[in-house]
Amino acid sequence: MYILGDEELQAIKRVLDSKKLFRYQGPGVETECFLFEKEFASYHKTQHSVVMTSGTNALLTAMVSSGIGPGDEVIVPTYTFFATVAAVVQLGAVPVIVNIDDNLGIDPVECLKKINSKTKAIIAVHMDGLNCNLEALRKICDDKKILLIEDVAQAVGGSYKGKPLGSIGEWGCFSFNQDKIITAGEGGAVITQNKEWYQKAMNAHDTCNQFGLTLKSWYEIQTFIGYSTRVSEITGAMLREQLKRLPHIISTLRSIKNDLIAQVPALQEKLVLASDPAGDCGTSLHLMTQDPLDALSTSKKLIQAGLRVAPMSARPAHCVWQWLHMLKEERTCHPKLNPLADANAQGLYDKAHFASSIDKLSRVIKLEIDINWDAEKIKSVAQSLNN
């Protein structure tokens, strides 16, 4: 969460005063949720968007709507919040884990090696506001005729070579959790150019809307049994105001990060940069230390200087070794919904496969950038880093 103010309060009040909190209010009625979807799609230069309860459900909806299911394989990175992996398993699909590159994004070279006849998609996760190598990933997916799904939960507002993150893959999946760049406390969304998949996403994320007056005659697809992850008008209204703030948030964070980097010349070789640095969201600064002990000691010194810093190993559910046991132990919600047995029999989830990722992540520290830092504070932070 970066900026909240009176605009969000007034938007919520507008909904409460209307006494219409449900997103469906009849055919053709542009409710807060429908308006947010239109504005969010337009921001990302795509045709369609669906708002829902979480980034996890956004991933689930994207995969369901594009036909991914039991027995299919989906390639995911070693550095991602566990929800990315969990969404794949929930569909009965098999997560195939791939190491990260030097930009902390999924490694395109390793992705190519993992593709087989069962592979349906690569999920490119833009962690910590850092974009992945989308040019290489897009080419691989086009050549192999598989889907590219962008997990933009931590990078809304970012770009890659001038294009909004989320618009380069067949799907862009977003989160509006409290810790994200724009927020409604909770929430998520998908974007896509594909009209059929968009209709399937509307059906998948809210299975009962096919029976209501608002959408009953709208569907051109054969509807199916989905689930229920719709949000209220309060969420839609709040996200509309947050979206208006997004350009300012991103430009401010980028400016702060660029100013900070310019003032730490001795650390240039230690910086971990995005694949396309110009499209970085600017939410954090990453440094590659010598070893895990150096990461811990450096973090401790910077924390004592009053900065929000932590080694990657301190994050609870983002590095492969923190969630790998869930796959190895096949902790699915029901034994008959377990797609992991064959992968385990082949040793695909053995930690040894991910040694390069473990080495990188155990040496990287992350400094959170505060949107309220002024020039004097940036100078102070730079001095702490230089020391």
In a domain, 117, yes or no: yes
Residues 104 and 164 in one domain: yes
In a domain, 142, yes or no: yes
- On whether the pTM is more than 0.95, the answer is yes
Residues 96 and 120 in one domain: yes
Domain housing 202? 6-244
Residues 306 and 164 in one domain: no
The last residue of one of the domains, among 211, 244, 277, is 244
Residues 169 and 20 in one domain: yes
In a domain, 220, yes or no: yes
Q: How far is CA 195 from CA 50, 165, 191, 200, in A?
A: 12, 19, 11, 9
Mean pLDDT of 352-374: 98
Residues 263 and 234 in one domain: no
| Residue 35, helix vs strand vs coil | helix
The last residue of one of the domains, among 244, 275, 295, is 244
Local confidence band at 149 (pLDDT 50, 70, 90 cut-offs): very high
pLDDT tens per residue across span 271-321:
999 999 999 999 999 999 999 999 999 999 999 999 999 999 898 999 999
In a domain, 337, yes or no: no
In a domain, 342, yes or no: no
Q: Tokens for 210, please give them.
A: 């096919």
Residues 254 and 233 in one domain: no
The answer to whether 208 and 20 are in contact (CB under 8 A) is no
Residues 84 and 132 in one domain: yes
Residues 11 and 123 in one domain: yes
**Angle between helices 82-90 and 320-328 in degrees, nearest 10:** 20
For residue 251, give the CATH number of its domain: 3.90.1150.10
How many separate domains does the chain show? Answer: 2
The last residue of one of the domains, among 188, 212, 244, is 244
The answer to whether 165 and 150 are in contact (CB under 8 A) is yes
Q: What is the percent of the chain where pLDDT is above 70?
A: 100
In a domain, 322, yes or no: no
Active site (catalytic) residues: 180
Q: What is the percent of the chain where pLDDT is above 90?
A: 98
pLDDT tens per residue across span 217-235:
999 999 999 999 999 999 9
Mean pLDDT of 151-167: 99
Residues 256 and 224 in one domain: no
Residues 313 and 231 in one domain: no
Model pLDDT, residue 259: 98
pLDDT tens per residue across span 102-134:
999 999 999 999 999 999 999 999 999 999 999
In a domain, 184, yes or no: yes
Spatial CA neighbour of 151 closest among 62, 64, 73: 62
Spatial CA neighbour of 287 closest among 304, 195, 307: 307
In a domain, 348, yes or no: no
The answer to whether 328 and 351 are in contact (CB under 8 A) is no
Residues 143 and 207 in one domain: yes
Q: What is the rounded CA–CA span in Å between residue 133 and residue 105?
A: 7
Residues 178 and 255 in one domain: no
For residue 146, give the CATH number of its domain: 3.40.640.10
